[in-house]
Structure 1
Amino acid sequence: MDQVIQAAGCVLWRPAPSGRGIEIALVHRPKYDDWSHPKGKLKRGETPEECALREVREETGQSCVLGPRLPTAHYLANGRPKEVTYWSARALGGTFTPSREVDRLTWLAPGQARARLTQARDRDLLDTFRASRSSQ
């Protein structure tokens, strides 16, 4: 049995500049030509929480504070099982710098973000995030 790839990420949000509602951060990965939530593999000795915070910083330039835990995604990546632990995270500010791994960052209203996400599992995650916010 293959070792499960451990990763972590966030549904990163901020209050909308208009003062009405929120915006969701999505990153574009040129290697896969997809739009997703910021996430990445755990480094040796790193906790999932530390990984999620680091990946958000690396991929979006934003510092953030973790909020409620969201469902863990389980899927195959290049034929290997992968498990991604997610949190809701509020962006605290920062500056995006494009890289080879992530070349674009966009902030969208939740409905627009849902339409832009490439993977169904990322849309499901956003739906869960939205439902958890409306029940608070």
Structure 2
Amino acid sequence: MSSVHAAGAVVWRKKGGEFQVLLVRRDSYKDWSFPKGKYKPGEGPRMAAVREVYEETGEHIALQRPLPSIGYTLSSGKKKRVFYWVARPLTQRSRPVAARPEFPTAHPGEITRSRWMNAETALEKLSYKDERSMLKRVLKYWERGELATRAVLLVRHARAQKRSAWNGSEKTRPLTPHGASRARTISSVFSVYGVDRLVSSPWQRCTATIAPYAQASGVSLTCVAALTEHSHAKNPAGVRKTIEAVLTDAGAPTAVSLHRPTLGTVIDVVKKHGGHHVKEKLPDDDPYLKTGEILVVHMKGDHAVDVERFRPVHTEP
């Protein structure tokens, strides 16, 4: 019997100095819960979470740190698992939203209404123990000042033509058709994390990996010569300095497009900013990341509080 997978988010905001979260009411189930729903075909959990929140509440969001998943058995006997993230609201006019497909709204009979609530009210309203426990975890992050995190997405460029099959210079070696297709998939991931800054090696295979997002969102691309393979081979300190600056910048969520030979140096910089929980999740063997794979580092100030590693769902040839 196949399992059912769904995704959702604990969407929070600070209003009038007060912590608030967004809940949805379903009269048909007589419950209050966090917005969530099943994946659509070809959709990964992160885009599913962002889409479901919009469909059920009308709020565009950006994902922040991940939360523990919740599993249970349905009346049909199937196992269901729901993956959650902390998330913050985005405006309709934000650049990450411009890079998303147009989402529908939920069927009127599915969700009765959505409502922002303070923590005390939300704990009283939430119908399920697991979701109340999740909110308590989020409240601990809030109390420790660790809730307003910033995502830094470190991506190995998508698949490029083989060196042996390319007659031009290394800096102009392009993506394969498969790599170009995956770059479009990567664009959707940048959107769900609210990426508003792009950094890349100036070589074509790196810039082409994040170009679809730059074009769709209007976010400008900053090329850094120190991130090329040749520069790294001569002076790894240039890569360390660049990644250090990106991680500790207090600005917008950022994506960086990288070459495989630089990844060991990049991972070493991330390790400096994280505790044991983060370090044990980091790849430690070359090639560190597959082509088109992403390491998301969730930063609070200069401290890495969590990481995610995944290769975006890709259904095109």
TM-score, normalised by the number of residues in structure 2: 0.40
Indicate which of 103, 110, 116 corresponds to 2:119: 110
The answer to whether the aligner puts 1:120 opposite 2:120 as a matched pair is: no
Counterpart Cα distance in 1 of 2:80 and 2:112: 23
Q: Which residue of 2 aligns with 1:83?
A: 81
Counterpart Cα distance in 2 of 1:3 and 1:103: 30
Q: Which runs of 5+ in 1 are unaligned?
A: none
Q: Which residue of 2 aligns with 1:99?
A: 108
Richer in strand (by share): 1
Counterpart Cα distance in 1 of 2:35 and 2:91: 15
Counterpart Cα distance in 2 of 1:33 and 1:93: 30
Question: Based on CA coordinates, which of the two structures has the bigger radius of gyration?
Answer: 2
Which structure 2 residues correspond to residues 24-103 of structure 1 after superposition, within 5 A? 24-78=21-75, 79-93=77-91, 99-103=108-112
Q: Which residue of 1 aligns with 2:8?
A: 9
Counterpart Cα distance in 1 of 2:107 and 2:20: 20
Counterpart Cα distance in 2 of 1:8 and 1:57: 12
Counterpart Cα distance in 1 of 2:91 and 2:12: 11
Q: Which runs of 5+ in 2 are unaligned?
A: 93-104, 147-317
User: Does the 8 Å contact 1:48/1:85 carry over to 2?
Assistant: yes
SS of structure 1 residue aligned to 2:79:
strand
Q: Report deviation, 1:26.
A: 0.6
One-letter code of the match for 2:112?
D
Q: Deviations over 1:13-66 (max 9, x none)?
A: 1222xx212211110112211000000001111010000000000000000111
Question: Which structure is richer in relative contact order (CA contacts within 8 A, separation 6 or more)?
Answer: 1
Q: Report deviation, 1:98.
A: 7.8
Counterpart Cα distance in 2 of 1:97 and 1:48: 18
Provide closer, same or farther for how the CA distance between residues 97 and 5 of structure 1 changes in structure 2, counting only shifts above 3 A.
closer
Richer in helix (by share): 2
SS of structure 2 residue aligned to 1:57:
helix
TM-score, normalised by the number of residues in structure 1: 0.90
